[in-house]
Structure 1
Amino acid sequence: MNDIAINDKSTGTLFRRALDKKLTSGISRQHQDSLRYVYNHFMTFLGDEGREKPLKSLTTGQIEIFLQQFNTSATHYMNKRRDLSVLFNTACRLIDKNLMTIRKTEVRRIKATLHLAYEREQLQPVLDFLKVNHTNLYRCALMTYGCLLRPHEEIRLLTKGHFKMNNTEIHLDGTENKGGRVRTVFVPDYVREELEPVLNTIGRDDNIFSLNKEPFNNSYFAKQWSREKKKLLSHGLIYPKQTLYSFRHTAAIDVFRRTKDVYMVQKIMGHSSVLVTLKYLRSLGEFNTEELRSVAPVL
């Protein structure tokens, strides 16, 4: 990336500096890609003339016109609004200004979508199906459930070097997991036994799915699941709202029901705080009216 003059206050220059700053701040690869994407599209939208104007001349109306191209869903719109806000607010801090331009843009309500957990009797048949039909997807699902890792970033990027203590632990640094902290993950025997034949044949820096140093792309597991999901549905093995992430939700429910320990769930899930865990469990329906009634204060 080119060096930029500190006194250059044009919108294009400040956004470029803001992007550079965020890319070197330890954010995840997925977040980096999202910021690059919205930066490139916004700079194209502004054109040469718009990029040369001062940041303070950028209007809410202009930004809303730009965001209209992401109208396919409220989630898509709000994700792009969020990413653009990150760059805009970082650019504002570079010139010590607190501009409200993006905050005034339309906010859209996102409907919560639940990755429906698997019922106990579903779990093994679904895993058995994946084991026969798609080895990589099976291993990913097994680790999503057994290690409670997130499939598309944490699991997809695993190499042999992440496995420690005779393959009984996975070690992730702060840049490799959503929580942003160093994390040690226990590997159950059924996961270790499935992975060891692979781990024994690849190099330390090789990805456990691609079997070389270059991992599969960001959407690899999403696309593979989309293909296999049609077959799973046709066989009556899953419900429409059950996804690859559902294995993680199913595991969280299992841990909570066996332990009744929210802090244990927080630790094993890698959540940044117990409040996140409580919200997560509530979204999965683990705190229902009967349970709350049974522990309500009495006089």
Structure 2
Amino acid sequence: MNKQKVYIYNSIFKAIVFFFAFITIISVVLIGVFMIANGGPSIIKVGLKEFLFGSVWNSANEPPQYGILTFILSSFYVTFFTVLIAVPISILVALAIGQLMPKKLGSVIRTIISLLAGIPSVIYGFLGLIFVVPFVQKIFDLSSGLSMLSAIIVLIIMTLPTIISVSESSINAVNQNYLETAFALGVRKEYALFTVVLPAAKSGIMAAVLLGVGRAIGETMAVIMVAGNIPQMPKMTLPVRFLTTAIVTEMSYATEQTRGVLIGIGLVLLVFVFIINSIFHFFIKKAGNLNG
């Protein structure tokens, strides 16, 4: 293949990549514009302070009350605790599969984890309703096991396969010369994994965590089945409602004003995700620069 053909193929490939990147950016912008245009007037009518910091949600009341502070706090807490527990477990499992287990056993577990990552969220919610909710109810002697704790447990189970798979790929991509050099210096393998391999793979691991956070924040069907879906201040053993479940719960029978407020909740969720993504991308870029 001559240089002219290579140049043409590269140009076509770059044009295709640029086109789809441009479409992605435009799509995100259009989603934001739609939410601002449709949800903004309702938020202004309710009042931004009352909307964001009001603790009472009652769309059927007259006049209706549209405070979403309970939704914001519930979403934040469940995401925080899910990540706090799921990330260390995922990294340890990824290390075990990629570096410590025999190859055949690691391959079997890797396949199982990939299958778990592909299970629809509604199945996790159904299994959580059957097993997790009664377990929480029995352990804490509650009248109902539908609670934020149940939602956290289900989300941890859901996010583990995603974080493990991406983290393991990042760990396996680390140059093996790092380990061999550490071994030559007399460093134990377990110590080398935590002090050499993990720091080298941290940008990929942070990307895996970002995917897990995205799934935890945006999950609807699973958590709506196990969280109780009651708008109140979050507590581990009480039913709660999240930003995503608030939209799903009321959109089908919402009045015009309530519909606008629900779109406003979507806008808050979009901003929430944008902030988290920006923070993670900053640290991922910083980790990449340090590795480079």
Q: TM-score range by the shorter chain?
A: under 0.3
**Where is the helix percentage greater, Structure 1 or Structure 2?**
2
Higher RCO, Cα 8 Å, sep 6+: 2
TM-score, normalised relative to structure 2: 0.22
